[in-house]
Amino acid sequence: MTKLREPLTYQRTLTNVANLIGWDRCAAICGVRSEQAVRNWSDPDCETEIRMIDAERLDRAYMDHGGDHAPFHRLHALRLDIAGRQTPDQCLASLAGQVAKETGEAIAAMIEASGSKDVRQRRRARQEIHEAVDAMKTSLAALDRQEKGNLS
C-alpha cells in the first residue's frame, strides 16, 4: 500500500517531481549514492529531509523536463504565506462560502475577459483571481490553525 503524503508538504512535492523525472535522476541531481536515500526524503516517517540546495536543483530539473513551475519554490512560498497569515476566528463553513463567492467572481470575470480585448476586463479578471487565491490561502491558514487546536 502506498504511504500517504499530505498536501503542501516537501515529501509530496518530491514524489511529484520524481514521478516526472524519475527517482534515479533525482538521486543523480542531488549527488546522493542511492535512489533509496532520495526516497527516504519523501517518507513522512523518516527523519531525513531534503536540503534547500537539492530542492532548488530539482526545481530546475523539473522545469527542464517540461514542468510548468518550480514545485519546491512554489510550495515554500505558499507555506510561508500561509504561516504568516493572521486568520480571523471564523468557522470553516463561513470561509468556504467566501472562497465560493470569490472563485465564482473570478470565473465570471475570466469568461468576460476571454471574449474581449478590453484591458479593463483583463485587469478585473486578474483582480478577481487574486481575491480568490487570497481567500483560499486564508482558508488554508484557518485549517492549519484548527488542526493545531487554535480554533474550536
pLDDT at 148: 79
**Intra-chain end-to-end CA distance of the chain, in Å:** 34
Quick check: 26 and 34 in contact, CB under 8 A?
A: no
Q: How high is the pLDDT of residue 147?
A: 81
| CB-based contact 137:102 (threshold 8 Å) | no
pLDDT by residue for the chain (152 residues), tens digit each?
578 999 999 999 999 999 999 999 999 999 998 999 999 999 999 999 999 999 999 999 999 999 999 999 999 999 999 998 877 677 899 999 999 999 999 999 999 999 899 999 999 999 999 999 999 999 999 998 888 775 44
Alpha carbon distance 40, 55 (integer Å): 14
Q: What is residue 151's predicted lDDT score, i.e. its pLDDT?
A: 46
Which amino acid would we find at residue 70? A
CB 43 within 8 A of CB 3: yes
